[in-house]
Structure formats: C-alpha cells, structure tokens
Amino acid sequence: MNKLITLAMISEELDKNNLILESNKVMHTMMKLSQKETDSCPAATQNIKLNLKNRQKAIDEYGYGPADPSQPNNKFWKEKMDMWKVDELSEVKNMLCGNCAAFDITSKALDCISEGIGSEEDPESTIKAGKLGYCKFLKFKCASKRTCDSWVTGGPIEDK
Ligand code: SF4
C-alpha cells in the first residue's frame, strides 16, 4: 500500500475518533509528501500503459468506478453504501473523485495530462469530457464523477 493511502486511512480513523488535531497533522504530512511529486509530470500522465496499469489496480483493489457514471449503477453504489456503512445513497454519491483530497486539478496537473494526451487528439476536450484530474494516491488519471474506496474528504487540489 502506498504511503499516501496509509496516511489517508490513519487520518480518517483519527477523524472518526474525534482526534481532529492529530488528523490534521497527518493530512498536512500527506500534502507535503504530495507536494514533493509536483516538480515534474507524474509518470502515468505521460505513459498510457502505466496509466492503464494503475487504473486497473484502482479498479481491482480499490473499487474504482462506476464504469459509466451516467448510468444508475445501483449495484456499485450499494456496495459503497455497505462499505462506508451509510444508510443514504446520496451520501456515497457525493463522495466522488471530484471532491477527494487526492484529486489534483491544478493547472500543472492538467497541463501534464494535456501534454501526455498529445497534440494528435484535442487534449482540452478530452479532459473536459471526462472531467479528468490526476489521482495522487493511486497515480492515474481519474474522472471526477467516479470514486474509489480510498476517497478522502477535503479535495480537490486546486491552484489556490
Ligand atoms: S481521486 Fe480519490 S476517490 Fe478518486 S481514485 Fe483517487 S483516491 Fe480514489
């Protein structure tokens, strides 16, 4: 398990136990670790095979999905409700990549994604259509309307 995910899980546990200060300290460490990775483009944004490999791992090990967010995906969301032990469907449906603490939509990340897509396609349209960002935990290009079991509150990561 990568360091950021482990820290995210610790932070969540502390949060659940009302140890807010400790949870915030762990979040701060997570952000500093993430910051270290911002100097160059993440490898998966430049290498489609690596991106697909990491995405498959996210699907297999962290329940990333649903495949088509425009569909009801009842089975998928029911599993997430069970996992998070919540009663309301609306709760899990609001826990998306788009507001996850690992979802990087800084201009730097989007430039990297755009550079990786290349000029043969229209990178801006691809990013907009998929509402793409970069997942700093699982290291792949993910879509804001999807989610995974490693979701952490507090995102997305933006320029400001
Ligand atoms: S951005 Fe968050 S919810 Fe989306 S795949 Fe990454 S860790 Fe999971």
Residue 36 has pLDDT above 70, yes or no: no
- Best residue among 76, 131, 135, 136 to mutate for probing ligand 1's pocket (most ligand atoms within 8 Å of CB) is 135
Check residue 16 and give its pLDDT.
87
Tell me, in angstroms, the distance from the centre of ligand 1 to residue 158's CA.
15
- Residue with the bigger pLDDT between 24 and 45: it is 45
E-assigned strand segments in the chain: 103-104, 132-135, 140-143
Residue 33 has what pLDDT?
A: 76
Mean pLDDT over 8-26 rounds to: 86
User: What distance in angstroms lies between residue 18's CA and the mean position of ligand 1's atoms?
Assistant: 23
Identify which of 64, 49, 72, 124 has the alpha carbon closest to the alpha carbon of residue 100.
64
**How far away, in angstroms, is 1 Cα from ligand 1 center?**
14
Quick one: pLDDT band at residue 38, thresholds 50, 70, 90? low
Task: Give residue 135 CA to ligand 1 midpoint distance, Å.
Answer: 6
**142 within 8 A of 113, measured Cβ to Cβ:** no
Going by CA atoms, what residue is nearest to atom 5 of ligand 1?
A: 148
Q: Percent of the chain, pLDDT > 70?
A: 93
What percent of the chain stands above pLDDT 90?
65
Provide the pLDDT for residue 110.
Answer: 95
**Ligand 1 binding residues, C-beta < 6 A:** 58, 64, 97, 100, 102-103, 135, 137-138, 142, 147-148, 150-151
Domain locations along the chain: 1-40, 42-160
pLDDT at 94: 96
Mode of pairing for the β-strands spanning 140-143 and 103-104:
unpaired
- Which residue out of 27, 137, 141, 149 has the highest number of ligand 1 atoms within 8 Å of its CB and is therefore the one to mutate? 137
Give the tens place of pLDDT for each residue, 71-120: 999 999 999 999 999 999 999 999 999 999 999 999 999 999 999 988 66
Angle between helical axes of 3-16 and 20-36 (0-180°, round to 10): 160
Beta strands in 45-147 (DSSP E): 103-104, 132-135, 140-143
pLDDT at 59 over 60: yes
Average pLDDT over residues 9-38: 81
